[in-house]
Amino acid sequence: SPSEDCLAAITDRGQLITIPLRSAKRLRETPLKGSRGEEEYLPEKQPAKWMLCSFHTGPVLGMDVCVRRPIVATCGADHMVRLWNFWERRCELEQYFMEEAFSIALHPSGLQALVGFVDRLRLMDVLKDELKTYKDFPQIKSCRE
């Protein structure tokens, strides 16, 4: 930056991040969840922030648009589910799952989502900062839309 108080960097996955230089003296390694849910080590007190929103690092496997809200939901091969606000052009929520999500469908209100995984279908509540499982359907497997 012009004031030399932060550093912009690009990760090996093509993600842009900013790191505050004030915290460079305190480089105690603490994890920051990367775009694939893996831990990346960055300064502890003022962790790096995504300069832009984090994008899928692999193919997008499922997508749905909400009828009543300006929301698009995507799931990808990177094990991430993201909810995008297309009016504000930003990612509102992203969550990493241990298994790959094959499909996603939003309720018209945008307050619930069905996510299809290899071993089950999950009905999830869309909360402010997470997707919380409401009900599992283990009898429905590998749902791809």
Alpha helix ranges (H) inside 90-140: none
Query: Whole-structure pTM over 0.85, yes or no?
Result: no
pLDDT of residue 9: 72
Q: Is 22 helix (H, G, I), strand (E, B) or coil?
A: helix
pLDDT tens, per residue, the chain with 145 residues:
466 677 777 666 666 667 777 655 444 455 555 555 555 544 444 455 555 566 777 788 999 999 999 999 999 888 889 998 888 878 899 899 999 999 999 999 999 999 999 999 999 999 999 999 999 999 988 887 7
- Domains of the chain by residue range: 6-50, 60-137
Domain 60-137, classified CATH 2.40.10.480, yes or no:
yes
Contact, 99 vs 119, CB < 8 A?
Answer: yes
